[in-house]
Structure 1
């Protein structure tokens, strides 16, 4: 699994940056995606994929320990759809 630190280290190495500079860049990109999602805006990273907020309706579910039916409130979910290049890389 790659962590934000792993990604920052790779960027620092490939672009002659300090680890602190690279980590700041990674954090800035992630914050931009988070801010866009919080405002309901889609983020499209060409060649990588698309982050989109999806509204999930209220639904009924079961409590696994008691079997009782409970209502799960409506919520928002962040989805990611990979670009064709990413899908192709995954599937050879």
Structure 2
């Protein structure tokens, strides 16, 4: 498995690729994160070309089992973040 890229490494790579400084790259990354968070938490979806689509999915109320006690309980409806990976990224990984 490849090493995990940290935020500092991502900022440095982004700065190098765009020809800007690390401060600007960090601000762009923070702004992107904020935009995605606001949009998805509001029920929308964000498509990052070549990467994928991030969206919110509603999960209905359901029965779950406590693994420690085996007790059945009802879990309330909630929302979760999902991501569909773009075909271009899948193809790049599998080639």
Unpaired runs of 5+ residues, structure 2, are: none
Runs of 4+ in 1 over 3 A off after TM superposition: none
- For 2:91, which of 71, 88, 91 is the aligned residue? 88
Residues 42-91 of structure 1: per-residue CA shift (max 9 Å, x gap): 11122221111110111111111111112111111111111110010121
| TM-score under structure 2 length normalisation | 0.87
TM-score scaled to structure 1, two decimals? Answer: 0.90
Counterpart residue number, 2:76? 73
Stretches of structure 1 lacking an aligned partner (at least 5 in a row): none
- Output the aligned Cα RMSD: 1.2
Confirm or deny: 8 A CA contact 1:53 1:79 kept in the other structure.
yes
- d(CA) in 2 for partners of 1:86, 1:36: 23
